[in-house]
Structure 1
Amino acid sequence: MEESTTKEKILKSVRNALINKSDNPFKNTDFSSSVFRAQKEGPEVEFALNLNDNGGTFIYCDNEKGFTDNLKSLMDQQGWTQLASTNPQLNTLLSTAGILAMPPEKNLGFQVSITGCDFLISRFGSVLVSSKLADRNLFVGAHTHLVVANASQVRSEIKEALSALKVKYSTSLPSQIIMITGTGRATTFTKTLPFGALGSKNLIVFMIDDA
């Protein structure tokens, strides 16, 4: 009897393929090992190199005071008078150092945002952030995005960073997870599927040595 629909023909082909399985020609292939080259430098150095390769800027800070000193110098150079931020702990640190940071709704048309991050990924020089930290617009909406991170937040691979994220938010995962790689490039992972998003034109990461 002739099949009446294309669907039936496709299903029959699939059934036949499942019944008549061919031998795996790649039995000796190791799918568990990493396909990436081994990182030559320490994870912090690898992150800095890859971030710079992607058009970002890396600024090392000995401690929190070194961070605020570097930030004030940068603001003076660029002519920035205030920053957009919704992180209370970060805002307190900035306020103590005499740096003005305000929520974006009180700072319409903000050009510079400053946020923390969940993790840094050394392999790609990427910054992993989530909706638990701040509104998505602070990550990708500003012309310049400043990121404050500790050296202890560096992870070698994406897989390691995502695993650490699951531990960090074990009771409730963020609704959005965003990986920022260089300038103008960000990928958002929702709980359903990923989609591309434009990032900030300038990405500057301050890494505080918390060893």
Structure 2
Amino acid sequence: MSIFSKLFGSSSPASEEDNDKENENSFSEKNMTIDEQFMYNFKKNGGKFLYCENQEEVKDQFENILEENDWYESEVLCYESNLFNILDENKLTYAKASVPKFLFSGCENLIAEEGSVLFSSRQIKQHKPHELPANIIIFAKTSQILAFKTDGLSAIKKKYEGNYPTNITAIKYFEKAKEEDFTQYGSSAKNLYLLLLEDL
């Protein structure tokens, strides 16, 4: 069974309980690669993961998300000029968006240990997670997957060498808690799509 079948379910009619047991047996963390661990934890947190082999697939998957949610002709919050072209191609408004339907952004890193997305002021300015739109589309590359949050902080330090960004924050919860969960207290769940481009 491929890693993607294991992570995203198979089409066999086995019960959910059987699938859960199989997944628990298949995924002991010490046997997983960092990529597998990230994908497993990200999906467990409620994130929607779209693997892309090239830039063309990124554009196609982005358009599929727009179509699925009827986000055409919407306002978008986006601060990264390298992403403006994909918004322009889809005729989306991002300059001075007053009521953005979603955030379109890159990220600093993807953290395997907790399946979270690490941001800084380079992507989200000074916005706190609860101030961001409820819907988020992230564009990232497989080379950005790191094992631990401390690795992510070290990577930021190395990348910016003295000109450190502020507002470093991680978003981990991508769906509302089904029951009262004290671990989510004070966090705001986001409807998050990840367009992950293979670059290794």
Structure with greater strand share of residues: 1
Unaligned runs of 5+ in 2: 1-27, 177-184
Partners in 1 of 2:188 and 2:160 — Cα distance?
Answer: 24
TM-score normalised by L of structure 2: 0.73
- State the AA in 2 paired with 1:210: D
Displacement after TM superposition at 1:114 (Å): 0.7
2:108 corresponding residue in structure 1:
118
Structure with greater helix share of residues: 2
The 3-state SS of whatever aligns with 1:176 is coil
User: Which has more radius of gyration?
Assistant: 1
Alpha-carbon distance change, 163 to 143 in structure 1, aligned in 2, over 3 angstroms? same
2:148 corresponding residue in structure 1:
157
Q: What do residues 47-69 of structure 1 show as CA deviations (whole Å, max 9, x unaligned)?
A: 11101111111111111110110
Partners in 1 of 2:48 and 2:188 — Cα distance?
Answer: 14
Task: Tell which has more relative contact order, 1 or 2 (C-alpha 8 A, sep 6+).
Answer: 2
2:187 corresponding residue in structure 1:
198
The 3-state SS of whatever aligns with 2:194 is strand
Residues 129 and 188, structure 2, Cα contact 8 Å, conserved in 1? yes
Displacement after TM superposition at 1:182 (Å): 2.2
Q: 2:84 aligns with which of 78, 91, 94?
A: 91
Partners in 1 of 2:137 and 2:129 — Cα distance?
Answer: 9
Q: 1:51 aligns with which of 35, 42, 51?
A: 42
Alpha-carbon distance change, 160 to 168 in structure 1, aligned in 2, over 3 angstroms? same
Residues 184 and 198, structure 1, Cα contact 8 Å, conserved in 2? no
Q: What do residues 65-98 of structure 1 show as CA deviations (whole Å, max 9, x unaligned)?
A: 1011011011111100133212111112442x43
Q: What do residues 181-200 of structure 1 show as CA deviations (whole Å, max 9, x unaligned)?
A: 12269xxxxxxxxxx86335
- State the AA in 2 paired with 1:156: A
Q: Which runs of 4+ in 1 moved over 6 A?
A: none
Unaligned runs of 5+ in 1: 1-36, 186-195
Partners in 1 of 2:165 and 2:175 — Cα distance?
Answer: 23
